[in-house]
Amino acid sequence: MNRVYNFSAGPSCLPLEALEKAQKELISYGSSGMSVMEMSHRSSDFQNIIDNCEALLRKLLNIGDNYKVLFLQGGASTQFAMVPLNLYKNKKTDYVLTGVWSKKAAKEAGRYGDVNVVASSEDKTFSYIPELSADMFSKDADYVHITHNNTIYGTRYTTLPDVGNVPLVADMSSSILSQEIDVNKFGIIYAGAQKNMAPAGLTVAIVREDLIGNALDITPTMLNYQTHADNGSMFNTPPTFAIYMCSLVCEWLDKLGGIKEIQKVNEYKAGLLYDFLDSSSMFKGTVEKKDRSLMNVPFVTDSDELNAKFIKEAKENGLVNLKGHRSVGGMRASIYNAMPVDGVKKLVEFMKKFETENK
């Protein structure tokens, strides 16, 4: 078994410890005599797994009792519809556009009501987070939507906008569990789990209770938060194995010291890479320094040929999935929680060597 360092933007690397535990109990979990994949979701063994997963998420993120933690399917893309379908009253909402994902989210909301684009950084290929002041937001918006971390472009909000009493909804697909956040600042946080939590097929939504129960009439039952909130995420069969994997990832994080500690590690890892980018004359980061993501680090050389050569040789050295998204080009290193410090060190070493050999 020859593990590589996997810099994929998602689905992405998982903690080896979690994978090893899953492997060990894959055929028979505890004394159950069956795989978690084979367990009835109504069994006490699975109830313990999902309860444990929720309890760990609540502990790690310090989630208050006035929030529901929902285990859903359909990816973050389904949330793009669920949010407006559940939150629209005036059918007016504010979106900040910081990348392809916020644009898609806004487009879907626009199919059901009026979307006001508060600000956009599309003018510079989404390489920064726009300045946002309280007066830019509509007082009568049903909610304000932001993409907390922009997976493709490598930016993140380092401060949250002041939206007054309007619920703030955040797509945290690529930043959840990576840094401390104050959940109380949000009406809804949602995340496709396949970056920092679990394998693909699980979507986690953290929803303030007062926002549940007023979905539009046209909302499909399965897209109504209330359906899942009223049934402990078991109105129908949930993605049981992905929830189990999420619990293993949360256990790993908890043992490590929780979000406070992983944030330090993440800042250290990102620092290694950004410091090198800033010192290098061959490689450079593509986003404004103040808005740099801790999770996704896009960078380029000034030649497409050199980029391609770099990606190819990195792969030969066990550093894989470094190709940037087509809308940015160049390279992107996604360094989620599960990417070991050693992986980033190896990447920086390799970049140094490559620079020496190719200048």
Ligand X SMILES: Cc1ncc(COP(=O)(O)O)c(C=O)c1O
Pick between residue 150 and residue 240 the one whose CB is nearest to Mg ion. 150
Member of 99, 154, 167, 239 binding a copy of itself (CB under 8 A): 239
- String of DSSP letters for 83-113: HHHHH-SSSEEEEEE-SHHHHHHHHHHHTTS
Pick between residue 163 and residue 198 the one whose CB is nearest to a copy of itself. 198
Only one residue has tokens 């394998």, namely 199
Pick between residue 282 and residue 331 the one whose CB is nearest to ligand X. 331
Q: Which of residues 85-104 bind Mg ion (CB under 5 A)?
A: 99, 101
Positive or negative torsion for Cα 314, 315, 321, 323: positive
Annotated catalytic, 252? no
Q: Which of these is catalytic: 68, 94, 142, 195?
A: 195
- String of DSSP letters for 63-80: --TTEEEEEE-SHHHHHH
- Is beta strand 155-156 parallel, antiparallel or unpaired with respect to 296-300? unpaired
Annotated catalytic, 195? yes
Contact status: 147 vs ligand X (CB under 6 A): yes
Q: Which of residues 305-324 bind a copy of itself (CB under 8 A)?
A: 318, 320-321
- Contact region for a copy of itself (CB under 8 A) — 2-10, 140-148, 153-161, 287-295? 2-10
Q: Which residues contact 117 (CB under 8 A, 6 or more apart)?
A: 95, 96, 97, 106
Pick between residue 139 and residue 326 the one whose CB is nearest to a copy of itself. 326
Alpha carbons 83 and 163: distance in angstroms, whole number:
17
Q: Which residues contact 113 (CB under 8 A, 6 or more apart)?
A: 84, 88, 90, 91, 92, 93, 142
Q: Which does 284 bind (CB under 5 to 8 A by kind): Mg ion, a copy of itself, ligand X, none?
A: Mg ion
Q: Is 42 annotated as a binding residue?
A: yes
Which residues are annotated as catalytic?
101, 171, 195
Q: Which residues are annotated as a binding site for L-glutamate?
A: 42
